[in-house]
Amino acid sequence: MRFNTTTIKDIAERANVSKSTVSRVINDKAIVNSRTRLAVLDAMKSLGYEPNFFARSLASGLSMTVGVVTQKLGSPFYDMISQGVIQGFAGTGYSPLFVDGQWEESTELEVIRTVLGRKVDGLLLLGGDISEQDLSDLKDRLPTIVVGKEVPGWQDQCVFVDNVGAARNAVKHLLEFGHRNIAMVCGISCHQDAIRRYEGYRLALSEAGIEVDPGLVLEGDFSAQSGIMAVNTLLMRGKPFSAVFCANDMVAYGVRLALQRKGIRVPEDVSIVGFDDQGESAYMCPPLTTVRQPGNEMGEAAAAGLVKLMQGETCRLPVMQGELKYRESVARLI
Amino acid sequence: MRFNTTTIKDIAERANVSKSTVSRVINDKAIVNSRTRLAVLDAMKSLGYEPNFFARSLASGLSMTVGVVTQKLGSPFYDMISQGVIQGFAGTGYSPLFVDGQWEESTELEVIRTVLGRKVDGLLLLGGDISEQDLSDLKDRLPTIVVGKEVPGWQDQCVFVDNVGAARNAVKHLLEFGHRNIAMVCGISCHQDAIRRYEGYRLALSEAGIEVDPGLVLEGDFSAQSGIMAVNTLLMRGKPFSAVFCANDMVAYGVRLALQRKGIRVPEDVSIVGFDDQGESAYMCPPLTTVRQPGNEMGEAAAAGLVKLMQGETCRLPVMQGELKYRESVARLI
DNA sequence: TTGTACGCGTTATCAC
DNA sequence: GTGATAACGCGTACAA
């Protein structure tokens, strides 16, 4: 096994043909005599040829590369999407080029310019905060798909789940189990998903004829630590509650731990519902009832869709559904 | 904000200079008249110039891209490393190109050839199974660093923690707390880390004059599910045990849940120690005592080291230490 | 200090 | 079917 660096010129000489012919058999897009083709193939093999993407891209205008703009790696949900994206591109010939926008518009625009400079053939935006105007400019320039975020008027190029509806279902589940005093620990207040999940909470309560009690709504930032702090605040306020709806699973972990520390049992005394269904949640004590966001599938679907777009075809992005996973962190109130 | 596609030729015309001069001010490596420089800078700005990496790479032979070979995304530890890698390259001008080897030698070689075809300036191997011969070939060809795996004779180009020592410390901690019947749930048996962690377990016991009881050693595969199955097997065997050392945290989660289901308390009845310290472990119930592997730092250090290598400097990779995080899943045996 | 001309490896457009 | 030859956008000797 060696890692050579030969060019089509070497192959051409070895096979006694011209560079053009070599190029033809490589790209398989023109008719070549089967004998010469074999000779070329043979030369390629024995010389261990590997095409140079830069030359190829410069000449063809295609990079076979996709810019993937993430927002702060380490967030469980977006990590799931990233993994799906990688899987989705595997074997397609396209490679994902990851850059990180850090949930900051200026950074995001900067990294987008970077990948544009690298002449990516398409763009995958995982979340993000850029304006609709910039988004529109991007879309005019190259195939672009947004994942994990709903952009108004852009449904065709978005892969997302209906956060409002999913949150509403989760809270409805608590209501159906007899809970009335349902607290919510929110996510980062300026974050679209956080806002939508709160809206779902509000909606479900409202439909049950319950008004939101501000005393039961806690700030948070999607971290376990914020879940712990929220519980402490909640207990200090002294308002009774029998269930907590958490903006995501990490928050739920913190909530569960804080309750345990106060001697409050889950789910016997207080029920918990999370959001995301990250891998660990099924193995919590007790296993966490949570809204499953199919991050992997979303990433894969987005990648597959983008490949179609880049090949000039149209693509129909699947509608993703948040699914409530019933596990053991919710008790029926007698 | 627009995403233009102008070339140095456009700038040259706009600024009334030659392309070479434009190139000079861009690369900042030759003396140019400050007035012409300003004119060029101005033209660049107003035209929204962004260099074309392909042309640049083709001409210079540098891609400013690093191939990062992962092995199956979604594994908590390697994900931490990946995140560190991204952070480590941020702002250096280098972009990481992720490909996935899926813990399979043939796949790994294939994706390596892919990134080599893309003329990456360096290579970061996250784990992996390729032969030392291939590794050596790679090293001769371009700057290469291995992360998360110890390669004999390659210490200078590796960022890893001493798994044997760390596991040994973890088990010693259990011994010091009075535990004698310590079970271990292993990782994938052909996996180097799994082997080393078992070796550490064996060593610690042996040093305490205890022989490994095969009945207390369980197979596993680094998954929570395998932790559950291991506990069930263990209980069926009927051998007494007061502690379980787990090959990683996911296994520990499964073990903890399975014990809970059998009415066995943690840590009162059985203590647990994990390995990895993934983000969720600090918020388990109870918070998990585990060996912290500084995945993020490892990724960052590897990236920083590789940048140095690529710039022709030497690099000294830090020695990473596994650190036992004392939390609440281990009880002192009275 | 600046401009000219060539090369990087490939694809694309012509002829043959 | 096949082979010259011109792009592709940029870096860089070399000359001016």
Residue A34 Cα, gap to closest chain B Cα (Å): 26
- Tens-digit pLDDT profile for residues B207-232: 999 999 999 999 999 999 999 999 99
Residue B204 Cα, gap to closest chain A Cα (Å): 29
- Mean pLDDT value of segment A302-323: 92
State percent of chain A over pLDDT 90.
Answer: 63
Rounded CA gap, A171 and B250, in Å? 29
Rounded CA gap, B158 and B160, in Å? 6
Pairing of strands A158-159, A144-147: parallel
Whether residue A148 contacts residue A84, with contact meaning beta carbons closer than 8 Å, is answered with: no
| Contact yes or no for B54 and A119 at CB 8 A | yes
Q: How confident is the model at residue B2 (pLDDT cuts 50, 70, 90)?
A: very low
What does DSSP assign to residue B30? Answer: S
Rounded CA gap, A45 and B86, in Å? 35
Q: Classify domain B8-60 by CATH number.
A: 1.10.260.40
Q: In CATH, which of 3.40.50.720, 3.40.50.2300, 3.40.50.1820, 3.30.70.1380 is domain B163-293?
A: 3.40.50.2300
At a 7 A CB cut-off, the residues bordering strand C are A 7-9, 19-20, 23, 26-27, 29, 49, 51-52, 54-56, 58-60; B 16-21, 24, 30-33, 35-37, 55, 58-59
| Contact yes or no for B1 and A284 at CB 8 A | no
Q: How confident is the model at residue B168 (pLDDT cuts 50, 70, 90)?
A: very high
Instruction: Assess whether the region A65-161+295-321 and the region A163-293 belong to the same CATH fold.
Output: yes
Residue A328 has pLDDT above 80, yes or no: yes
- Tens-digit pLDDT profile for residues B99-112: 888 888 888 988 88
* Superfamily grouping for domain A65-161+295-321: Response regulator (3.40.50.2300)
What does DSSP assign to residue A275? Answer: E
Specify the pLDDT at position A61. Answer: 84
For residue A261, list chain B residues with Cβ-Cβ distance below 8 A: none
Of A153-167, A211-225, A239-253, where does mean pLDDT reach its minimum? Answer: A153-167
For residue B74, list chain A residues with Cβ-Cβ distance below 8 A: 80, 83, 279
Amino acid identity of residue B38, one-letter, is L
Q: Where are the domains of chain A?
A: 8-60, 65-161+295-321, 163-293
Tokens of A279: 């891998």
Residue A2 has pLDDT above 50, yes or no: no
Rounded CA gap, A154 and A132, in Å? 9
Nucleotide nearest to B24 in CA–C1' terms: D11
| Contact yes or no for B117 and A51 at CB 8 A | yes
